[in-house]
Amino acid sequence: MWPSPPRARTGRAVLRWLRGFVLPTAACQDSEDYFHYEVLFRDLDRNGDGVVDIKELQEGLKNWSSMFGLFSEKDILKAGDTNNDSKLDFEEFMKYLKDHEKKMRLAFNSLDTNNDGVIETSEIIAALKSLGMTISEAQAKNILQSIDSDGTMTVDWDEWKVYFLFNPAASIDEIAGFWKHYTGRDLGTSLTLPCFSPYALNNIYFISVILYISILLFIQYKKWLSFDDVKIGIIERFISGSLAGVTAQSCIYPMEVIRTRLALGKTGQYSGIIDCSKKLLKQEGVRTFFKGYIPNVLSIIPYAGIDLAVYELLKNYWLEHFSGNSVDPGVIIVMGCSTLAHTSGQLASFPLGLIRTRLQAQALEQKETTMIHLIQDIYNKEGKKGFFRGFTPNIIKVLPAVVISSITYEKVKRYFGLI
């Protein structure tokens, strides 16, 4: 009787189990492979009916989640289900694993450029660079460590095969996407893509529209909240900024979801904004365009209120005390004020922004994660620090946009005569 894999262990423990027992050598005979695949299949087939459905596959992969991307079970089922009955019998399961192993061998060989039988950090860096992705040596080492099970800081074929056994990536491009979107969350800093990404136009359009709407609404809300031309205070500025942010985000929110899906999608999954919109509408319905809306509104209230209010307070303080007769704060002051204001807003809103993004990234599932459940999951797994994962690189990344938006804000005010 073959033992079943450890159900409650971590992904790395399962890696060791697979390497040491299920797939002990690279030269396994076909008969041995048959029994090894049978052990895995029996573990996934929880109800013992001889087939593995989407729920069983999803439940089985949860124990090894560190090795997989989002919704791997759907990709595996789609690739292996040759008779289209939405289930995998043992023959389909074994054929999928054998075919997948061949693809992983090609991927391994393409990375192993010096043909020494192992993959090193320099080869990972070179491979990703050829695909237009730039990473540091430290990031490459972290990727390597996630696969390396024997501590040699290299990855041989056995380690590679075991690690990607149930990862549906079929090429180096898809593996690179897996590293970028999933392993990359644990790298401390994100993997960087070229500046001219295929979806840059979407980002430019989104930022331009949201900025334009927010500025005009902030100015208008301030006018409505002022009485008898009395100088408005910090409370009125905060309320004006919050209302402007919520209104603008509500107008453009479906585009925010599309932008997130384009960023997380696999290579070739979407050809552009319109194609992404059509596929989301067809596959997931209208509701998908408003996933994460509630945490988005809850996060934009403190962010927009603090960002716009603090910016104006800092700028006006400088004008009153240091500018003399000038009403132009200058680029340096605008940069300083906008940086402090944006950082303050991010500190107050980042946790809910993180929740929003994770909800937006959900595809159609058997059971969708709720906001409360997601908060509990992050807290239980990562503690309080988990709610601020990626905060520093996010601040650094958006500083240029913040400065540009603040300068635009000043220009718009002057254009409308609202100085």
pLDDT value, residue 193: 35
Query: What is the C-alpha to C-alpha distance for residues 19 and 31, in angstroms, rounded to an integer?
Result: 18
Sequence-distant (6+) residues with CB within 8 A of 200 are: none
Q: Which of 258, 259, 260 has the alpha carbon at shortest distance from 280?
A: 258
- In the chain, which segments carry CATH 1.50.40.10? 200-415
Q: Tell me, what amino acid is at 35? A: F
Report the pLDDT averaged over residues 385-399: 76
CATH 1.25.40.10 fits 200-415, yes or no: no
The pLDDT value given to residue 119: 92
Instruction: List C-alpha distances in Å: 97 to 56, 101, 151, 188, 201.
Output: 17, 6, 26, 33, 39
Top pLDDT among 1 and 412 is at 412
Distance (Å, rounded) from C-alpha 94 to C-alpha 318?
Answer: 70
pLDDT at position 418: 54
| pLDDT value at residue 13 | 47
* Beta carbons within 8 Å of 169's beta carbon, 6+ residues apart: 69, 107, 175, 177, 178
Q: pLDDT tens digits for 224-255?
A: 887 654 567 778 888 888 888 888 888 888 88
Are 37 and 97 in contact by the 8 Å Cβ rule? The answer is yes
From 22, 9, 104, 139, select the one nearest 65 (Cα to Cα). 9
pLDDT in tens, 91-115: 888 888 888 888 888 888 888 888 8
Supply the pTM of this predicted model.
0.43
Selected residue with higher pLDDT from 328 and 364: 328
Closest CA to 312 of 246, 406, 220, 247: 406
CATH number of 11-186: 1.10.238.10
- Residue intervals of the chain classified under CATH 1.10.238.10 are 11-186
Higher-confidence residue of 398 and 190: namely 398
In this predicted model, what pLDDT tens digit does every residue of 59-73 receive, in sequence order? 777 655 445 554 567
- Please tell me the predicted confidence (pLDDT) of residue 197: 39
Dump pLDDT digits (tens) for 179-215: 765 444 443 333 333 333 334 444 555 565 666 677 7
- What's the confidence (pLDDT) of residue 264? 67
- Is pLDDT at 326 greater than 80 in this prediction? no
Per-residue pLDDT tens over the stretch 130-140: 777 777 788 78
The rounded percent of the chain whose pLDDT value lies above 90 is: 1
What's the mean pLDDT when you consider all of the chain? 73
More confident site: 81 or 34? 81
